[in-house]
């Protein structure tokens, strides 16, 4: 089925859960993922949506126990990402003044569980924080931490090297935050061979038989998300790494001379 015969004007809905910070309530740490999909969307992006919701669930339990974050947390699910990032872009445009002034970082969860192979990327200033977090999260393979397995799979030539991380481009909901407002972003997930991207085969049957049979990688991505959110929310000094930012920028300067 397609939308060719339906009303071309459609309402879309973004949803938000907010936990107000204690010490720096104006500062915003946001994690989000899109809800819409081309087909059933088990990987793209039910996996990202449930990662956001489970991170929210874990942190809500902390709040109920009396441990509130220092900065305000926002858990978002976006509509109409597949139609051109419309849901997140409308939000960024509508709240741009507050975001430009107070947003600490945006964590994106898109298509995050369809195999065992971890990868991450984002703003150079937040990459070291992601590496630090995954050093403390057990990998579902039981071969050490997520970081240990990531390094082993990267087959690095020297101990001083780190697994490669991608630079932000476009095509997901971080674009409005990063490309237009300059807010640091980071994303991560577990991938593998699939062949069902944006198809009707991206469903529960495929996920439960092939993509993530025990849903352990879903849970691990959510654990990383909760830890990332809390690290940004509670840091006395925000953990931006401007050395890595400068080193990354140096690689691009020759190309624009």
Q: How far apart are the C-alpha atoms of 40 and 36, rounded to whole Å?
A: 9
pLDDT tens readout for residues 194-216:
889 999 999 999 999 999 999 99
Q: How many C-beta atoms lie closer than 10 Å to residue 170's C-beta?
A: 9
pLDDT-wise least confident of 9-13, 184-188, 221-225, 236-240: 9-13
pLDDT-derived band at 2, boundaries 50, 70, 90: low
pLDDT tens readout for residues 15-68:
999 999 999 999 999 999 999 999 999 999 999 999 999 999 999 999 999 999
- Stronger pLDDT, 6 or 250, i.e. the higher one: 250
Q: Which residues contact 120 (CB under 8 A, 6 or more apart)?
A: 127, 130, 131, 134, 165, 166, 186, 187, 188, 189
Residues β-bridged to residue 138: 145
pLDDT tens readout for residues 104-123:
999 999 999 999 999 999 99
Check: CB of residue 28 under 8 Å from CB of residue 51.
no
pLDDT tens readout for residues 220-252:
999 999 999 999 999 999 999 999 999 998 888
Residue numbers annotated as active site: 81
CA dihedral angle for residue 53, residue 35, residue 106, residue 103, rounded to 10 degrees? -90
- pLDDT of residue 3 exceeding 90, the answer is no
Residues β-bridged to residue 187: 108, 121
The pLDDT value recorded for residue 170 is 86
Supply the pTM of this predicted model: 0.94
Query: DSSP alpha helices (H): ranges in 85-188?
Result: 86-94, 96-102, 124-134, 146-154, 174-175, 181
- pLDDT of residue 7 exceeding 80, the answer is no
- pLDDT of residue 1 exceeding 60, the answer is no
pLDDT tens readout for residues 129-170:
999 999 999 999 999 999 999 999 999 988 889 999 988 888
């Amino acid at each position: 089925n397609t939308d060719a015969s339906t009303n071309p004007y459609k309402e879309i809905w973004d949803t938000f859960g907010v936990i107000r910070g204690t010490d720096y309530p104006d500062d915003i740490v946001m994690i989000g993922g899109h809800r819409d999909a081309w087909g059933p969307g088990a990987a793209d992006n039910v996996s990202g949506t449930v990662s956001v919701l489970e991170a929210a669930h874990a942190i809500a339990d902390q709040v109920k126990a009396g441990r509130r974050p220092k900065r305000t947390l926002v858990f978002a699910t976006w509509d109409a990402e597949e139609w051109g990032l419309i849901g997140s872009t409308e939000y960024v445009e509508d709240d741009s003044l507050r975001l430009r002034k107070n947003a600490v970082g945006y964590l994106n969860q898109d298509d995050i569980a369809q195999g065992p192979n971890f990868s991450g990327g984002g703003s150079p200033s937040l990459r070291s924080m992601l590496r630090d977090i995954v050093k403390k999260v057990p990998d579902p393979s039981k071969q050490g931490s997520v970081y240990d397995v990531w390094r082993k799979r990267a087959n690095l030539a020297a101990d001083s090297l780190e697994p490669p991380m991608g630079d932000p481009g476009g095509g997901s909901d971080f674009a409005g935050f990063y490309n237009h407002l300059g807010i640091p972003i980071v994303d991560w997930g577990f991938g593998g061979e699939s062949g069902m991207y944006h198809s009707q085969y991206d469903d529960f049957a495929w996920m439960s038989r092939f993509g993530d049979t025990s849903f352990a990688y879903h849970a691990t991505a959510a654990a990383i998300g909760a830890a990332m959110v809390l690290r940004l929310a509670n840091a006395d000094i925000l953990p931006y790494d401007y050395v890595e930012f400068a080193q990354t920028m140096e690689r691009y300067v020759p190309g624009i001379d």
